[in-house]
Chain A
Amino acid sequence: MDAGLTYIYTCFDIVLSAALLWLAWQLLRSTDIFKAIIFFICFGLLMSIAWVRMHAPDVALAEAAIGAGLTGPLFLAALRRMELGSRKERRIDGKEERSEDE
């Protein structure tokens, strides 16, 4: 019974770590800033679960509220203020969103 529970915990940890790594990679390599911010919010939520797995519930509460709930909308607000200047800010390489086929 105890060996089975440890096995389940280990599988959960492996899946969680793989998800965190994949989210981080997608967040860094996506050219759309809005998509990257959404990935960042998901990363914060999964990181909160990782803190719980490391037996730190206080840090998990703070990470969920601040990392996902405050920094995410902060980035979105910053993106909105950037976009008011030019529509091209949403893409990281500055191209227009529609493909230029004129």
Chain B
Amino acid sequence: MVRRNEAKMNNRHQTKKRLSGLLWTLLLLTIFLAGLLIWTVLNIPRPLPSLSRETAEYLAMSGVNNPVTAVLLNFRGYDTMLEVMVFLLGAMTVWSITHAPFPARVANPSPVQATAVRLLTPLVCLIGGYLIWQGAYQTGGAFQGGAVLSAGVVLLLISDFIWVPRMHSLPLRLGMAVGPLLFVILAIWGVITEGSLLKLSPENAWAYLLFLEAGCGISIGLTLAAFFAGGRPLGDLREEPYKADQDDGEEG
């Protein structure tokens, strides 16, 4: 009995570690760095050096009314193009590791879960699409709407619907590729019509950016959900969509 109490006390003593000397040094260095950053931020010279005046000047030529979207998609469109390609590359990296771990024995979803997902998914599509479209004149845009869409797809993934693992993977792959593809097509179109990469003519820029935002929003949504799924879809393009014994035995 005494040994048991002693073991318990030792266990409790071990879980309450004291900060060692090295950790104290690192903590003090971090506090010093934080103080330095606060002092720097408080001493930034006014007026702040920024490009907001030039952005407001050229906003009419960019095809949208929101300065953030104009900078992201038109003035610095090259950076956004590389960013959506990095998304695709990240999804390829995650997919190259393993298959997506769907449970082997799928339990039917409870009525509450099924109803909630069925009610929420169209709403998520509506709100995501509205955020994508609203990026032209208010806060929003492809990334924000795409993130909301990805939350909807994640909701579908974690609900126990039987048809989710059995979906054919070709629409998913096409949807993930449409964002970077539209960017590349627009870049080459800029070379053909205007002579410079990603150069959009001011009178047609609104149409180009609308298509671009829609495509990028869809592809960002599907790519982020593919990150969450954690592996490539069960139906490879060369095989059958889904076989009952195709799981890796990871779920139990």
Contact = CB atoms under 8 A, between A and B. Distances in A.
Contacts of B118: none
Contacts of B148: 65
Interface residues of B, number: 26
Contacts of B151: 65, 69-70
Contacts, number: 58
Interface string B112-155: 00000000000000000001000000011101100110110010
Interface stretch (B164-172, B176-184, B222-230, B234-242): B222-230
A58 interface: yes
Nearest to B138: A57
Interface stretch (B7-15, B53-61, B198-206, B207-215): B7-15
B251 interface: yes
A11 interface: no
17 contacts: A31-B15, A57-B139, A58-B68, A58-B141, A58-B144, A61-B147, A65-B148, A65-B150, A66-B150, A70-B147, A81-B101, A81-B250, A84-B250, A84-B251, A84-B252, A95-B15, A101-B4
**Across the A-B interface, the 4 shortest Cβ-Cβ residue pairs:** A65-B147, A61-B144, A57-B139, A69-B151
